[in-house]
Amino acid sequence: MDLSLDGYFDFQGLPVPDAELFCHRTEHVGDLAGTIYGRQMYEVVRYWYDDHPDWTSEQHDFAVAWRRQPKWVVSRSSKSVGPNATLVADDVEVVIRELKAKLTGEISASEPTLAQSLSDIGLVDEFRLYLQPVVVGRGKPFFSRPRPPLRLVSSERIGGEGIRLTYAPA
């Protein structure tokens, strides 16, 4: 997930990734076994379901990779989800444990509150945070509750200004 220097996840306040970071994201999404979304984040990313005439070839490539991957949407208020997506309204822990046991590969949790809830019950193996060199001063804090004990696994510069920090539960 993208974070500002002041620790916020705010897709509207963060800069558009440079070409290298955008290509990295496309490759990453293409390699995922699937992604788990909270309702609000899923509503944001539904943008990628429909082609837009002003898209670059890189944006089109991302959309193709994103559409192809399985998605699970954790929501009690949603009634339906789009193609290649499954609604998870109840028994979230059971469903995610089953996915982790059944699927081969990485499952991404794309929303801070959801990621922290999954971490609280031992379902997060790593946090991959993409630090952007901006201060937004608003949005959703990545860790809105006390941060779990973490250890730095790796750091990598991606593109001109982005840094990916990978942490595992300590």
Task: Supply the pLDDT for residue 37.
Answer: 96
Task: Supply the pLDDT for residue 133.
Answer: 87
Q: What is the pLDDT along the chain (170 residues), one digit of tens a residue?
A: 888 899 888 777 777 788 898 999 999 999 999 999 999 999 999 999 999 999 999 999 999 999 999 999 999 999 999 999 999 999 999 999 999 999 999 999 988 889 989 999 999 999 999 998 889 888 888 888 888 899 999 999 998 888 999 999 99
Q: Give me the domains of the chain, ranges plus CATH numbers.
A: 2-169 (3.40.430.10)
Task: Supply the pLDDT for residue 34.
Answer: 97
d(CA 115, CA 78): 19
In Å, how far from its chain's centre is CA 121? 18
163 contact partners, CB below 8 Å, separation of at least 6: 130, 131, 155, 156, 157
Contact assessment for residue 122 and residue 95, using Cβ atoms and an 8 Å cutoff: no
Task: Supply the pLDDT for residue 10.
Answer: 77
Task: Supply the pLDDT for residue 142.
Answer: 85
Task: Supply the pLDDT for residue 152.
Answer: 97
128 contact partners, CB below 8 Å, separation of at least 6: 1, 164, 165, 166
Task: Supply the pLDDT for residue 31.
Answer: 96
Using the structure block, give the residue that is written with the tokens 């996840």.
9
Contact assessment for residue 37 and residue 45, using Cβ atoms and an 8 Å cutoff: yes
Q: What is the pTM of this model?
A: 0.91
